[in-house]
Structure 1
């Protein structure tokens, strides 16, 4: 694994924990806020462990409020 400068991202996310239940899962980014026009702004704190939901159920084409 290549090391990145912590100013870009201080951690990482994953999909699965090394067992067969990890297949068919996804990684989803969390929503930071919803604008008055309904547009969803995704969370970006430069900390992937915080910004994403690991090993989530996939839902193509949707952004879920979490």
Structure 2
């Protein structure tokens, strides 16, 4: 995801309800989970970004 305002700095510190984060912030989830969680987070964010940017034509 790309943010052009202060949200670019804030969102990694906000609680996240995504399945990878267990209601922790992105940063806290990666600290607790280490490198495996970092890799999982990257895959999750990439898939989310692709889903948002893919358009379907009816």
Same fold per TM (> 0.5)?
no
Q: Which is strand-richer, 1 or 2? A: 1
TM-score by length of 1: 0.23
Larger Rg: 1
The structure showing larger relative contact order (alpha-carbon pairs under 8 Å, at least 6 residues apart) is 1
Q: Which is helix-richer, 1 or 2? A: 2
TM-score by length of 2: 0.24
